[in-house]
């Protein structure tokens, strides 16, 4: 039996800038999982990691230990390749909702465990729950069964998966140790790798509406996560995508579901489809059902045009208890806000900016998101018909539609949104949406 490590020994070694051994990292994660390390010791260790960093081998060991702190889903009974996509989060990012059925319709299983929105970014689970009846709280057995039968499951984190992350994330949140590359990488990757996937595609966002504000920071995060995935035998690739303006034209839970259904009908906004096809093509390549991204994109376009992707979405919604009529008549099935008001341009010009963070804050005012983890969200509220950077607008043209359930909140949101959409005299060319590919 190996000698146990005292918490203070391991903390001191990292405090002094040493490279930790795998066994020391395992002891720390075990301490977080079984309670044998006190919260103050875990917090001190997190701060030591924050200040001293970790090399790739240490980050891989941390990810592995966190993944193994709970159950790793066994999807070996699923006979097709299993590939997931993870986004670091943005505004209007509803890609998962339509990408999962598109990829599943191409014969690749998509086991997807997602999160809820917190702060300015939206969460896939909140969006899905705006579909009446849709259950995101499946057990791991139900999850495996859905992946087997429909090729996809869209669920929330279960208590069995990566419990060490739950503990450590809660401590990071209150000890100023969230913004730390190895801790972020291990936290994201341990949960993804516990899903039972064969490969992973990451959408790492950068810009004012993203977690990473600059391209170099996003590149470093993407490279670190790609290295971890590959080191753990799961081919991983990342796209770096811009998040300065919202993705698509809708922001808000049910409104984003409706936009995703439009995507499955071949009526999605160009920017949203560009990111969707790029990520989906990478997934098909990693699954080896397409030889290159061009072929992958063509395959995805085919399943949209033939209606196979929409049909797959109906199957997935029905299999998780949701009202599948949402795919045929979203406005009849999804909750609708009491008030809808058009925000109009006061003058003619070109749209210079639609500041994603401010749009998200306006949506938060309407109740579309949560300020604290325990807050409820209003599924019906948000924005549609948002203009895009580079578009020409005439005086009186619609810049966005505001969907609200409360007139006072509507006024506040309209004021914030009015400031978030900046028009000016000269034409502008938006920056490319997809900046780089890593891996
Ligand atoms: N998302 C996570 O799951 N963990 C982090 O540390 C950051 C974002």
Residue 121 confidence (pLDDT) above 80: no
Measure the CA–CA gap between 239 and 279, rounded to whole angstroms: 7
Measure the CA–CA gap between 402 and 406, rounded to whole angstroms: 11
What is the best residue among 178, 181, 190, 228 to mutate for testing ligand 1's pocket, by most ligand atoms within 8 Å of CB? 178
Q: Are 105 and 308 in contact (CB under 8 A)?
A: yes
Selection from 81, 319, 116 nearest residue 201 by Cα: 81
Q: Ligand 1, atom 7: nearest CA belongs to which residue?
A: 184
Q: Ligand 1, atom 6: nearest CA belongs to which residue?
A: 184
Q: What share of the chain is helix, strand, coil (3-state, %, to 5)?
A: 45, 15, 40
CA of 178 to the centre of ligand 1 (A): 8
| Ligand 1 atom having least distance to the Cα of 169 | 6
| Residue 353 DSSP symbol | E
Measure the CA–CA gap between 111 and 3, rounded to whole angstroms: 39
Measure the CA–CA gap between 174 and 113, rounded to whole angstroms: 25
- For 180-239, what is each residue's pLDDT tens digit? 999 999 999 999 999 999 999 999 999 999 989 999 999 999 999 999 999 999 999 999
Look-up: residue for tokens 């969200």? 377
Mean pLDDT of the chain: 96
The pTM score is: 0.95
- Catalytic residue, from 64, 120, 172, 234: name it: 172
pLDDT (average), residues 139-156? 96
CA of 4 to the centre of ligand 1 (A): 29
- Catalytic residue, from 69, 187, 260, 290: name it: 187
Q: Ligand 1, atom 3: nearest CA belongs to which residue?
A: 188
Q: Kindly report the number of other CB atoms within 10 A of residue 99's CB atom.
A: 27
- Side-chain-side CA neighbours of 419 within 13 Å: the count stands at 10
Q: Is the CB of 121 under 6 A from ligand 1?
A: no
- For 37-58, what is each residue's pLDDT tens digit? 999 999 999 999 999 999 999 9
Measure the CA–CA gap between 289 and 396, rounded to whole angstroms: 49
Domains defined along the chain, listed by start? 7-53 (1.20.970.10), 83-330 (3.40.1030.10), 334-424 (3.90.1170.30)
In 277-433, where do the E strands start and end? Answer: 339-344, 349-354, 382-384, 392-393, 398-404, 421-424
Q: Kindly report the number of other CB atoms within 10 A of residue 256's CB atom.
A: 30
Measure the CA–CA gap between 18 and 10, rounded to whole angstroms: 10
Q: Are 102 and 109 in contact (CB under 8 A)?
A: no
Residue 292 confidence (pLDDT) above 70: yes
Q: Is the CB of 187 under 6 A from ligand 1?
A: yes
């Amino acid at each position: 039996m190996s000698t146990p490590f005292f918490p203070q020994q391991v903390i001191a070694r990292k405090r002094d800038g040493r490279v930790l051994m795998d066994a020391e990292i395992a002891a720390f994660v075990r301490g977080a999982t079984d309670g044998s390390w006190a919260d103050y010791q875990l917090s001190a260790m997190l701060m030591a990691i924050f200040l001293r960093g970790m090399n790739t081998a240490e980050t891989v060991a941390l990810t592995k230990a966190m993944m193994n702190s709970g159950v790793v889903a066994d999807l070996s009974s699923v006979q097709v390749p299993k590939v997931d996509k993870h986004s670091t989060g943005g505004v209007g990012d509803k890609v998962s909702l339509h990408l999962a059925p598109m990829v599943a319709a191409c014969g690749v299983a998509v086991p997807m465990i997602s999160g809820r929105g917190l702060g300015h970014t939206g969460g896939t689970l909140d969006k899905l729950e705006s579909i009446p009846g849709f259950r995101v709280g499946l057990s791991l057995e139900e999850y495996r069964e859905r992946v087997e039968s429909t090729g996809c499951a869209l669920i929330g984190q279960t208590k069995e998966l990566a419990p060490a992350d739950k503990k450590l994330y809660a401590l990071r949140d209150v000890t100023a140790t969230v913004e730390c590359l190895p801790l972020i990488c291990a936290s994201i990757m341990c949960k993804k790798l516990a899903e039972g996937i064969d490969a992973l595609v990451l959408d790492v966002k950068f810009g004012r509406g993203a977690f990473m504000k600059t391209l170099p920071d996003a590149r470093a995060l993407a490279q670190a996560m790609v290295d971890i995935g590959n080191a753990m035998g799961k081919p991983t690739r990342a796209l770096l995508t811009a998040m300065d303006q919202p993705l698509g034209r809708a922001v808000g839970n049910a409104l984003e579901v409706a936009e995703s259904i439009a995507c499955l009908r071949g009526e999605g906004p160009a920017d949203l489809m560009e990111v969707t096809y790029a990520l989906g093509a990478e997934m098909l390549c990693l699954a080896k059902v397409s030889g290159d991204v061009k072929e992958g994109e063509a395959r995805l376009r085919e399943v949209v045009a033939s209606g196979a992707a929409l049909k797959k979405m109906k199957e997935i919604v029905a299999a998780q208890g949701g009202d599948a009529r949402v795919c045929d008549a979203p406005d009849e099935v999804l909750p609708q806000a009491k008030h809808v008001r058009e925000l109009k341009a006061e003058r003619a010009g070109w749209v210079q900016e639609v500041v994603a963070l401010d749009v998200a804050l306006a949506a938060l005012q309407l109740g579309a998101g949560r300020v604290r983890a325990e807050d409820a969200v209003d599924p019906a509220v948000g924005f549609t018909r948002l203009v895009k950077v580079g578009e020409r607008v005439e005086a009186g043209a619609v810049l966005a539609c505001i969907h609200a359930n409360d007139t006072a909140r509507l006024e506040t949101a309209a004021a914030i949104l009015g400031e978030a959409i900046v028009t000016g005299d000269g034409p502008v060319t938006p920056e490319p949406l997809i900046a780089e590919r890593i891996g």
